[in-house]
């Protein structure tokens, strides 16, 4: 296992720089054809971890990935998330992690992705209206039945992670985290201590600030882009971090994946490490 690899759950080997499929348009037309091409190019470039969710198009994103990539190459992991349902609310969605809803969404995902087992299934959010033991118990039953390989969580606190680990083995956590957004630093530390994969969503810092200007300066010195510097910093930050940047353009995809080969020297890393403090001081 090389340094750019990680074993999710201790046994599922993936390359650390993955791809988030949320931004891929799935409606019929030229944009969908572009989406299919982006997904295929990601795999051509060596991506072995692709992230999707029931919420992304209410299953349409899962169907898109299957159309683009099935039959899947050996070693490709498509992780999906469940626990969010459509709603008549202004947001258009609501948390719903009742056991029957979770099971139904998993069954739909299996059909849409054309697989018999989802190697990594993540609970999109903990539903405060449903006992945690019921939510995770349903996912554990699906794992026992062989329909799920490993269980992950998304947007959790350290306390919630600890409670969850008392009920099931947690293989991954997907929280918002980036060079300029380190709110979930304690969760990352807990994951690193336990060997749990940490998949930061929104991994590329986009804020217009003194800190982002410094990122641009570091990038210019390396003949790289700010996005590449942000991703390279994440890969260096912790061995359990598996960034999943998303895009709908092949050029942007190729730019992101090239970050795996970007070398940040100690001086550059020190400048980047201090940016979070700079941003907070400016607030």
**CA angle at residue 156 from 143 to 211, to 5 degrees?**
130
User: Out of 56, 70, 72, 177, which one is annotated catalytic?
Assistant: 56
121, 106 Cβ separation under 8 angstroms: yes
Q: What tokens does 60 get?
A: 């349409």
Nearest to 143 by CA among 117, 109, 166: 117
Residue with structure tokens 């258009």? 92
What gap in Å lies between CA 243 and CA 259, rounded to an integer?
11
Please name the residues in contact with 129: beta carbons below 8 A apart, sequence gap of 6 or more.
95
Nearest to 202 by CA among 156, 252, 241, 246: 246
| Rg of the chain, C-alpha, whole Å | 19
Supply the DSSP string of 152-171, one letter for each residue: EEES--HHHHHHHHTTS-EE
What gap in Å lies between CA 130 and CA 128, rounded to an integer?
6
Pairing of strands 12-15, 5-8: antiparallel
Task: State yes or no: is 56 an active-site residue.
Answer: yes
Q: Which residues participate in catalysis according to the annotation?
A: 56
């Amino acid at each position: 296992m090389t340094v750019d690899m990680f074993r999710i759950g201790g046994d599922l080997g993936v390359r650390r720089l993955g791809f988030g499929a949320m931004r891929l348009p799935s409606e019929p037309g030229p944009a969908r054809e572009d989406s299919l091409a982006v997904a295929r190019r990601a795999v051509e470039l060596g991506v072995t971890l692709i992230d999707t969710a029931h919420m992304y198009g209410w299953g349409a994103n899962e169907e898109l990935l299957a159309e683009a990539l099935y039959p899947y190459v050996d070693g490709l992991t498509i992780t999906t998330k469940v626990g969010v349902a459509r709603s008549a609310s202004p947001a258009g969605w609501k948390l719903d992690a009742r056991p029957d809803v979770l099971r139904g969404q998993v069954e739909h995902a299996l059909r849409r992705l054309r697989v018999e087992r989802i190697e990594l299934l993540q609970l999109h959010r903990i539903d405060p209206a449903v006992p945690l033991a019921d939510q995770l118990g349903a996912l554990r039953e699906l794992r026992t039945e062989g329909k799920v390989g490993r269980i992950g969580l998304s947007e959790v606190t350290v306390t919630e992670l600890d409670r969850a680990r008392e009920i099931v083995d947690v293989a991954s956590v997907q929280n918002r985290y980036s060079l300029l957004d380190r709110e979930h630093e304690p969760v990352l530390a807990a994951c690193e201590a336990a060997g749990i994969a940490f998949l930061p969503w929104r991994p590329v810092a986009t804020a217009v600030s003194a800190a982002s200007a410094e990122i641009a300066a570091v990038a210019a010195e390396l003949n790289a882009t700010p996005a590449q510097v942000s991703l390279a910093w994440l890969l260096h930050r912790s061995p359990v971090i598996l960034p999943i940047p998303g895009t709908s353009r092949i050029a942007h995809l190729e730019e992101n994946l090239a970050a795996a080969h970007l070398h940040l020297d100690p001086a550059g890393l020190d400048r980047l490490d201090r940016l979070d403090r700079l941003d907070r001081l400016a607030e």
